[in-house]
Amino acid sequence: MSGLVLFRRGRVIDPRHGIDGVRDVLVRDGKVAEVSEAPLQVSGAEVVDAQGRWVLPGFIDLHVHLREPGEEGKETILTGCRAAVAGGFTAVVAMPNTKLVNDSALVTELVLSRARAARLCHVYPAGAITKGLKGEELAEMGELVSAGCVCITDDGRPVMNASLMRRSLQYATLFDIPVMVHEEDLTLSGKGAMTEGPTATRLGLLPIPPSAEVAMVARDLVLLEETGGRLHIAHISCEGSVRMVREAKRRGLNVTAEATPHHFTLDDTAVGQYDTHAKMNPPLRLRRDVEALREALADGTIDAIATDHAPHGVLDKQVEFEKGINGVVGLETALGLTLALVHDGVLSPSKAVELLTHGPARAFGLPGGHLAVGAPADVTLVDPAAEWAVDAERFFSKSRNTPFNGRLLKGCVTQTWVGGRLVFSNGQIQEAR
């Protein structure tokens, strides 16, 4: 039992319930017990002075690579959870492309066991679509779901076999889980290192055309329409993809999509002079693609902001650009980059919070993402006025691969509560003894 906690006079933003105003929030035994416009007087409660702070539902990240088992030098479930709560995330979905691949109940149970031992945030495993992520044979979906997986995905690799992809959508309907897809036609992306455009030409790098993503989105929307399943498009990055998802939603297809902070913040020019910290898959796109993502975040075409937190070691990035491993860490910079869209007038505060909370919860059918009475007391406190500079050396993640090192951001997480228990406060992890 976590007892009584009273968040006093903070600005509560709960988009699911249309709340945006000063409230008191009372938590009892790990659940939200009351949300009141009038000040509450509760005997025996731990009082958190939230004046000047935003009191938000805990953030939910649908796309995180925790690297355990197999690559614990880059990240462990414990260090990944520390990075999550430092960034205000109270729940993360752990991708299956670990070593061992999460294509069996054994690996799912290992992930859940490590997460329980960490005792910091909720970790929801994602199971593989195909055995070993090889794209040849479907994994045992029922076994994965029974063990605790909340979606299936071969993230990091596409399912090139259209028949296999179609069957995965059909089978997933039996379990009412989303099929999360990394959209890339390998015959189009080939050995490309960055997006097609003037920067690739200037640097003499092999280009990846946008059709490598857009063509796969088109294929999978056709398959979705035939099967009636649930399709979730990971790290959408192209203007053409956004246009098709928007049209598919208008026609009532059950498709959701996420965008990453690096894709809605940076364009291909961030590669500069072969900066491998700006190398990811999908690659950074052109400015018109960035603008399309921003518009889609604002109009609801994109449902969630997800980090695609992808830790890598120093040596993975200190190589020629073509040989650099794709991916950046993102859990600890997501809020500041999202709030930059608020400062730029792209998103309202409520819409920004929705994309980090209720949006991802709704897309995957996860608990949380709101602060109604009876909801899990997963709460993130934010100082919206705090200005800070990203310092990768201070990350709680084991890895430092970020293109945002040194960037000035406005808005930071001051406290994170999970199930009514304080797990992060003013720069310090509060680990359970």
Q: Supply the residues annotated as catalytic.
A: 308
Q: Which residues contact 177 (CB under 8 A, 6 or more apart)?
A: 145, 149, 150, 151, 152, 230
Q: Which residues contact 244 (CB under 8 A, 6 or more apart)?
A: 214, 217, 218, 221
For residue 215, how many other CB atoms are within 10 A of its CB? 18
On the 0-12 / 13-18 / 19+ scale of CB atoms within 10 A, 51 is exposed
The angle formed by the CA atoms of residues 412, 303 and 362, to the nearest 5 degrees, is 95
Measured CA to CA, the distance from residue 266 to residue 278 in angstroms comes to 9
Helices (H), 197-324: 198-203, 211-227, 239-250, 261-265, 287-299, 314-317
Measured CA to CA, the distance from residue 175 to residue 402 in angstroms comes to 37
Q: Which residues contact 348 (CB under 8 A, 6 or more apart)?
A: 342
Residue type, 314: V
At 159, give phi and psi (nearest 5°): -95, 95
At 150, give phi and psi (nearest 5°): -105, -10
> Which of 99, 179, 115, 101 has the alpha carbon at shortest distance from 145?
179
Contact (CB, 8 A) for 380 and 361: no
Q: Which residues contact 184 (CB under 8 A, 6 or more apart)?
A: 157, 158, 212, 213, 216, 281, 282
Measured CA to CA, the distance from residue 256 to residue 307 in angstroms comes to 16
At 419, give phi and psi (nearest 5°): 60, 35
